[in-house]
């Protein structure tokens, strides 16, 4: 499998698998109420583990796809290379956060009690999940800027894709601060901006994957 096809499949299938896992399989609600979320995972550990693997795995796949796109732009040395260079680092950090998320949620699903599970979720949240929307938002914004400066992956010569990516990134960043300075948990899914950012990331990733697949180089 060549890098072009690999990148395209990661960007297309990753978000689709992740979306299906979180929406249809994962028994938790990611509500920010740690005892409630832990109880849902412990009540159905088999579905929880499948949802966790596919959910986090799909997101990690999409991040690896973004890494490949960013690395390609960086190696090209063009106008967007400096932005893409930072994005390559952030994408790898994001993959590491996904692995950490799998570990803590797996442990939660197999915890001996709801209290133990809630503690594990809190530790995982404090260890990286709480800041993932901010890091992901910056990553997407940088990728959007890099692609716009490179003038690639356009639809009918219009920079629709980089604008969509940048908007998703900006929404995640705003959502992080809106959640952090409110009475909510600060989680990405707890406010409208966070949801717009997450959906924008999923959509833009699929579109970017299709355009990469159709690219001539």
What is the per-residue pLDDT across 50-103, written as a single tens digit (0 to 9) for each? Answer: 999 999 999 999 999 999 999 999 999 999 999 999 999 999 999 999 999 999
State whether the Cα torsion 13-15-17-20 is positive or negative.
Answer: negative
pLDDT per residue as tens digits for the range 105-153: 999 999 999 999 999 988 888 766 667 888 999 999 999 999 999 988 8
pLDDT at residue 15, rounded to an integer: 96
H, E, C per residue of 39-60: HHHHHCHHHHHHHHHHHHHHHH
Would you give the DSSP letter of residue 153?
S
Q: What is the pLDDT of residue 189?
A: 44
Residue range of the domain that includes 72:
3-212
pLDDT attached to residue 183: 46
Report the C-alpha gap between 40 and 211 in whole angstroms.
39
Asked if residue 217 belongs to a domain, the reply is: no
Tokens encoding 72: 């390609």
In a domain, 78, yes or no: yes
Residue 71 domain-assigned (yes or no): yes
* Residue at 149 is within a domain: yes
pLDDT band of 33, cuts 50, 70, 90: confident
Confidence (pLDDT) at 181: 54
Give 147-203 pLDDT, tens digit per residue.
999 988 888 778 889 999 999 999 999 888 886 555 444 444 457 888 889 999 999
In order of 2, 20, 113, 149, 154, the CA distances from 132 in angstroms are 30, 20, 27, 26, 28
How many domains does the structure of the chain reveal? 1
Which has more pLDDT, 182 or 3?
A: 3
Neighbours of 13 (CB within 10 A): 17
Residue 62 lies in a domain: yes
Q: Is the pTM of this model over 0.85?
A: yes
Question: What is the DSSP code (8-state) at residue 191?
Answer: S
Q: What are phi and psi of 32, to 5 degrees?
A: 90, -10
Residue 141 contacts by C-beta under 8 Å, 6 or more apart in sequence?
165, 166, 169, 170, 173
Count CB-CB contacts under 10 A for residue 184: 15
- Would you say residue 53 lies in a domain? yes
**Residue positions counted in the chain:** 217
Phi-psi domain of 96 (left: phi exceeds 0; alpha: psi -120 through 50; beta: other): alpha
């Amino acid at each position: 499998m060549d890098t072009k096809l690999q990148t395209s499949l990661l960007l297309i299938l990753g978000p689709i698998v992740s979306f299906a896992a979180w929406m249809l399989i994962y028994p938790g609600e990611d509500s920010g109420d740690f005892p409630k979320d832990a109880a849902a995972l412990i009540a159905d550990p088999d579905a929880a583990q499948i949802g966790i693997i596919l959910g986090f795995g799909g997101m990690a796949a999409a991040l690896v796809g973004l890494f490949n796109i960013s690395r390609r732009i960086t190696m090209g040395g063009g106008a967007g290379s400096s932005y893409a260079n930072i994005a390559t680092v952030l994408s790898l950090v994001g993959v590491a956060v996904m692995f950490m998320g799998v570990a803590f949620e797996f442990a939660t699903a197999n915890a001996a009690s709801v209290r133990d599970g809630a503690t594990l979720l809190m530790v995982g949240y404090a260890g990286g999940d709480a800041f993932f929307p901010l890091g992901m938002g910056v990553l997407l914004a940088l990728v959007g800027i890099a692609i716009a400066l490179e003038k690639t992956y356009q639809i009918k010569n219009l920079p629709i894709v980089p604008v969509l990516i940048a908007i998703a990134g900006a929404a995640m960043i705003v959502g992080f601060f809106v959640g952090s300075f409110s009475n909510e948990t600060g989680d990405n899914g707890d406010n409208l901006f966070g949801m717009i950012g997450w959906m924008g990331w999923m959509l833009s990733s699929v579109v970017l994957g299709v355009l990469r697949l159709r690219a001539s180089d």
